[in-house]
Amino acid sequence: MKKGNMLYEGKAKKVFETDSPELLIVSYKDDATAFNGLKKGTIAGKGVINNKMSNALMRILQNNGIPTHYVEELNDRDTLVRKVRIVPLEVIVRNVAAGSFAKNYGVTEGVVFPEPTIELTYKNDALGDPLLNEYHALALNLATREELDAIKNYAFRINEILKTFWISRGVTLVDFKLEFGKLPDGSIVLADEISPDTCRLWDSATGKKLDKDRFRRDLGGVEDAYREIMDRLKQKTEAEE
Ligand code: ADP
Ligand code: UDP
């Protein structure tokens, strides 16, 4: 499958048309942004890692019954996906307090929740991705009640699958952001990416941050952390040998 016209250039990826109207190619860049684009930089090798990690995690999710947009990894940076109409919501699942949750609600980072929690933001850069609830999403016509129920259900199932996977690699899945889209038949599938850009991943033993917070917070060792989390992903556990 060859790249056609570029449809869109985002902050972390480019999106291309293909010969098929139902398929797109996403191409992962090394560009990094934070704080709604205010902080900009480059993380060498990030595009390759995010592409491969997202694809590996999407394959695991598919094998566990979660429908995703993933079709085929074409090369280090490019992946063939099913074209969807993105539901303009960022779906954030959290297991441990961190980031904006810790700040907004005055909770110390690292406090483990009694059960996973979910929040929605409106995917709208001009408005700064504001938090909203399901009634707001309905009022704004962003999704139907049935779609919101499907999205929440998938999000919690995805959390259980990914949490279990990362624990087997000695990594705590703190929180992450998902995007869902609609196929032409109206069904909901997981889209976009799952990577250290969109997840908080902490070494379970030391608490070391192995994700984009190293870039956001100028903690140093950004490239090394991306490489380390990719190595962890590839690590086979005894049960898998
Ligand atoms: P942003 O738009 O936030 O800067 P990216 O640089 O990651 O983000 O750009 C990728 C864009 O492609 C995002 O807007 C995302 O919602 C969209 N996208 C992801 N997967 C699909 C898909 N399967 N079909 C259509 N659009 C997609
Ligand atoms: N996240 C994301 N894109 C966004 C906002 C958040 O991928 O536009 C991810 C982020 O990496 C983290 C989780 O969602 O894993 C929760 O982020 P939070 O709300 O704490 O926001 P932040 O601290 O990044 O402002």
Ligand 1 atom at minimum distance from 82 CA = 23
Q: Treating both helix axes as pointing N-terminal to C-terminal, what angle do 145-167 and 46-63 enclose, rounded to 10 degrees?
A: 110
DSSP state of 68: B
User: Strand (E) positions, the chain?
Assistant: 6-9, 13-17, 23-28, 31-34, 39-42, 70-73, 78-82, 85-86, 89-96, 112-122, 131-132, 171-182, 188-191, 199-203
The domains of the chain are located at 6-82, 85-223
Residue 178 CA, ligand 2 centroid: distance in Å: 10
What is the rounded CA–CA span in Å between residue 138 and residue 123?
Answer: 14
What is the rounded CA–CA span in Å between residue 93 and residue 103?
Answer: 16
Coil, helix or strand at residue 109: coil
Closest residue by Cα to residue 122 from 179, 48, 167, 169: 179
Ligand 2 atom at minimum distance from 177 CA = 14
Distance of CA 129 to the CA centre of its chain: 15
pLDDT of residue 237: 74
Residue 133 CA, ligand 1 centroid: distance in Å: 22
Ligand 2 atom at minimum distance from 216 CA = 24
Please tell me the number of Cα atoms within 13 Å of 233 on its side-chain side: 26
pLDDT of residue 239: 75
pLDDT of residue 176: 99
pLDDT of residue 236: 82
pLDDT of residue 14: 98
What are the phi and psi torsion angles at 60 (to 5°)? -60, -45
> Which residue ranges of the chain lie beneath pLDDT 50?
none
CB of 209 within 8 A of CB of 227?
Answer: no
Residue 92 CA, ligand 2 centroid: distance in Å: 7
**What is the token pair recorded at 169?**
């690699």
Closest residue by Cα to atom 27, ligand 1, is 192
pLDDT of residue 98: 98
Return the number of other C-beta atoms located less than 10 Å from residue 25's C-beta: 25
What is the rounded CA–CA span in Å between residue 113 and residue 94?
Answer: 8
Ligand 1 atom at minimum distance from 85 CA = 25
**What is the token pair recorded at 100?**
């904006």
Identify the residues whose C-beta falls under 6 Å from ligand 1.
8, 10-13, 15, 24, 69, 81-84, 86, 179, 181, 191-192
Class of domain 85-223: alpha beta
Pocket test for ligand 2, best of 94, 198, 209 (most atoms within 8 A of CB): 198
Pocket test for ligand 1, best of 6, 7, 9, 13 (most atoms within 8 A of CB): 13
- State the CATH architecture for 6-82: 2-Layer Sandwich (3.30)
Residue 70 CA, ligand 2 centroid: distance in Å: 22
Ligand 2 atom at minimum distance from 119 CA = 19
**What is the token pair recorded at 105?**
């609600």
CB of 124 within 8 A of CB of 136?
Answer: no
Residue 187 CA, ligand 2 centroid: distance in Å: 26
Measured between alpha carbons, how far is residue 207 from residues 153, 175, 201, 204, 219 in Å?
29, 14, 9, 6, 14
**What is the token pair recorded at 29?**
């860049």
What is the rounded CA–CA span in Å between residue 15 and residue 137?
Answer: 26
